[in-house]
Chains A and B, each alone.
Chain A
């Protein structure tokens, strides 16, 4: 008997006051259509509320979207709030208006990929699927 693996659960979040939700919604829909379980937070989330949602939903991944330029404050705060809750192994990715110079700084705190506006959806879905299958494979091997 083959057991179909449970779908991956991914939280798509909008931290801060930024209302640009086109990208977050398009990505959320593409991930849903690709078989992910998607929890979209809606606007105006604090770093703490996002970390709490990741915890409560037992999410496999977290995507952060920010177009207001506040990502270098908000994203590290999200990482810190996750750490406070004992979450260090959930893959993080991001999208929005992010200067190329910020990308390596975000990578250094665990934001593995930043997808600029207009990124083909298969690139995002493909990357996240591969990334989570690696994690799942490792946890099966561990267990």
Chain B
């Protein structure tokens, strides 16, 4: 009977013109309909499980959003530490539940505000932090023990974290009360985001030091947020984002184990950061596949037994690269759909982009709309009422399998590049330019599909309009940079020079040994050494790393 029904439908489909089946945004082939046949091999307990149970496909916590909503965490930072402190207080006052610090480019690149290379960049795309004085201002009046603080910083993560810990000391908050996340993911810097200070192996040594230090001294902090967001923004497909990010994450697991730590001693503190792009179901399938691959590999390959080690926790940001300069109000709708994907995919925290971010950092008004978007999804739509609401959908389960299989193919290839080690495989892929070439090819293919109208972006290659809507823009005056440079000069002048000198000398000494670098960095932070001074103190030992150019 079922076969007859299928045959009848197929005939009717052909009679209706036999429309070609579609592809996902990332180019995965789709069927025109999914049926029980597509999920015939699915074993509920083995492949899905109840939420909180391996392989955690349906979610990592038993009660998910019924127990606790996702954290609404808007990434913010611009101009001076004073201005960013005001934005933080504004967001907390409007119901935001966690902080997320955006640093400016000189800070991300390990340079002080008065560095010649910082000219024009100070405070532009985040807040400028040069020394502990800026950290004190940034978190002034915000009880660090009561909020969680996410910091997007990678190459200089250990340095900025040392300043943060020293600032918490001055607030009188014990380190054990501090919760939050550092990004610290250096692999994706070489792969996509392009912000590093040293060659890969010295960076990995610093990351190992940080993981050990946090496990011992700051146990509520997540020392690494393994990030696919930037890989996707650089132009990868959904599958590449997933595969490369998991490869990076598993490589950090191997790093911890190489340093003699038990996998269950640090894996529960690893967290992830994914992109939520515009193809709703492809993204949901990606999040579900991510949890399943991670849980299985941690258990089967790395011998994790603590269920917390198997749980892939992730933050999500909607896709900046999906926003358009044309008809920018439409970006509100795109962001809402992407946020819905993140929520139905089971994210732990979420940043929604603002409609004006294709032009500049967002205004207060635009940020409020973005935050309200999350609140509408949480409070009005009902999508958070049931755990993994799309679980069991023929389509979503089949697509989850498809995304997982494609990602596993990449993981196997990367493992082979490292002779069985993902750690060595990722390093090899960075060294040979493999990741960059894969992403650059995907970015170019995507643009070609838009140019051929195989992909549509409303307002760009369809439904264009000559009407321009003027938007108010956040402007960061050049005086911000002058004031920051002047302030830094005051900090330099007011320091105990002897203490600075000996702290820096000690940092260089420790960098050349296998001692944990965190205590020396903390002393530098307390002595008001600048970020640039600390970076250079270690560069003497670690050296630099040139860019491998691949178009």
Interface residues of A (CB under 8 A from B): 16-22, 25-26, 28-30, 32, 38, 40, 42-44, 46, 67-70, 72-74, 77, 97-101, 116-118, 120-122
The answer to whether A25 and B440 touch (CB under 8 A), given A19-B195, A118-B457, is yes
Complex: chain A residue closest to B123, CB-CB: A69
Instruction: Known contacts A16-B120, A68-B121, A122-B451; decide if A98 and B109 are in contact (CB<8 Å).
Output: no
Q: How far is the CA of A25 from the CA of B468 in the complex (A)?
A: 28
Nearest CB of chain A from residue B203's CB, rounded to whole Å: 15
Contact at B476–A69, with CB atoms within 8 Å?
yes
**With A17-B105, A68-B121 given, is the CB distance from A26 to B549 under 8 Å?**
no
Tell me if A22 and B235 are in contact (CB < 8 A).
yes
Which residue of chain B lies nearest to A116 when distances are taken between CB atoms in the complex?
B325
Contacts A117-B321, A120-B450 given; does A99 touch B551 at CB 8 Å: no
Interface residues of B in 396-438 (CB under 8 A from A): none
Contact with A along B102-119 (1 / 0, CB 8 A): 000110110100000111
Whole-angstrom distance from the CB of A115 to the nearest CB of chain B?
9
Write out the residue numbers on chain A whose beta carbons fall within 8 Å of the beta carbon of B547.
42-44
Q: Is the CB of B361 within 8 A of A69?
A: yes
Q: Chain A binding site: helix, strand, loop or mixed by DSSP? A: loop
Distance from A136 Cβ to chain B, minimum over Cβ atoms (Å): 25
Chain B interface (Cβ within 8 Å of chain A)?
105-106, 108-109, 111, 117-121, 124-125, 193-195, 233-235, 321, 323-326, 357-361, 440, 443-444, 447-448, 450-451, 457, 460-461, 468, 470-471, 473, 475-476, 478, 547, 549-551
Picked from B108, B194, B448, the residue with its CB within 8 Å of the CB of A21 is B194
Closest A residue to B324 by CB, please name it: A118
Contact of A32 among B105, B124, B551 (CB under 8 A): B551
Cα–Cα distance between A70 and B359 once the two chains are bound (Å) = 12
Q: In whole angstroms, what is the CA distance A118 to B460 when docked?
A: 8
Closest to B457 in A: A118
A17 and B121 within 8 A (CB): yes
Contact among B106, B324, B326, B468 with A17 in the assembled complex (CB-CB below 8 Å): B106
Q: Which residues of B contact A68 (CB under 8 A)?
A: 105, 121, 124-125
CA separation between A26 and B356, bound complex, in Å? 23
**6 closest pairs, A vs B, by CB?**
A73-B120, A19-B194, A69-B124, A116-B325, A70-B120, A42-B549
The answer on a CB contact under 8 Å between B358 and A97 is yes
A14 CB to nearest B CB, Å: 9
A98 vs B361: C-alpha distance when bound (angstroms): 10
| Chain A to chain B contacts (Cβ below 8 Å), 22 pairs | A16-B105, A17-B105, A17-B106, A17-B111, A17-B117, A20-B194, A25-B443, A26-B447, A32-B551, A40-B549, A68-B124, A70-B119, A72-B478, A74-B120, A97-B360, A100-B468, A117-B321, A117-B323, A118-B325, A118-B450, A118-B457, A120-B461
- The answer, among A17, A18, A21, A29, for a CB contact under 8 Å with B444, is A29
| A38, A40, A73, A74, most chain B CB atoms within 10 A | A73
Instruction: Report B433 CB to chain A, min CB distance, Å.
Output: 12
Taking CB atoms, residues of chain B closer than 8 Å to A77 are 119-120
Compute how far the CA of A121 lies from the CA of B125 in the bound complex, rounded to whole angstroms.
Answer: 27
Residues of A within 8 A of B120 (CB): 16, 70, 72-74, 77
Interchain nearest-CB distance for A69 vs B (Å): 3
* B450 and A22 form a contact (CB under 8 A): no
Query: Counting chain B CB atoms within 10 Å of each CB, which of A19, A20, A68 scores highest?
Result: A19
B471, closest chain A residue (CB): A100
For the complex, give the distance between the alpha carbons of A3 and B101 in Å.
Answer: 58
Which chain B residues lie closer than 8 Å to A97 at the CB level? 357-360
Contact of B473 among A19, A28, A101 (CB under 8 A): A101
Is the Cβ of B233 less than 8 Å from the Cβ of A18?
Answer: no
CB distance from B14 to the nearest CB of A (A): 35
Chain A residues closer than 8 Å to B549, beta-carbon distance: 40, 42
B117 adjacent to A16 (CB under 8 Å): yes
For the complex, what is the distance from the CA of A122 to the CA of B447, rounded to whole Å?
Answer: 11
* B119 pairs with A28, CB closer than 8 A: no
Which residues from chain A contact B108 at a C-beta distance below 8 Å?
17
Q: What's the least CB distance linking B289 to chain A, in Å?
A: 24
Closest chain B residue to A101 by CB distance?
B473
A16, A22, A69, A120: which contacts B443 (Cβ < 8 A)? A22
- Chain A residues near B550: list those with CB within 8 A: 25
Chain B neighbourhood of A121, CB < 8 A: 447-448, 451
Q: How far is the CA of A69 from the CA of B475 in the complex (A)?
A: 10
Query: A46 → chain B, closest Cβ, in Å?
Result: 8
Q: Which residues of B contact A118 (CB under 8 A)?
A: 324-326, 450, 457, 460
Of residues B195, B233, B360, which shows the largest number of chain A Cβ atoms within 10 Å of its Cβ? B360
Given contacts A17-B111, A118-B325, whether A70 and B121 have CB atoms under 8 Å apart is yes
A19-B193, A97-B359, A97-B360 are contacts. A40–B551 as well, Cβ < 8 Å? yes
- Tell me if A70 and B443 are in contact (CB < 8 A): no
A22-B234, A70-B105, A99-B360 known; 4 new pairs, CB 8 Å cut-off, are: A17-B117, A38-B551, A118-B325, A120-B450
Task: Kindly state the separation between the CA atoms of A30 and B444 in the bound complex, as whole angstroms.
Answer: 8
Known contacts A26-B235, A118-B450; decide if A69 and B125 are in contact (CB<8 Å): yes
With A and B bound together, what is the CA distance between A97 and B444 in angstroms? 19
Q: Which residues of chain B are near A69, meaning CB under 8 Å?
A: 121, 124-125, 360-361, 476
A67 to B194, CA, bound (A): 13
Q: With the chains together, A96 CA to B47 CA distance in Å?
A: 43
Shortest CB–CB separation between residue B445 and chain A, in angstroms?
10
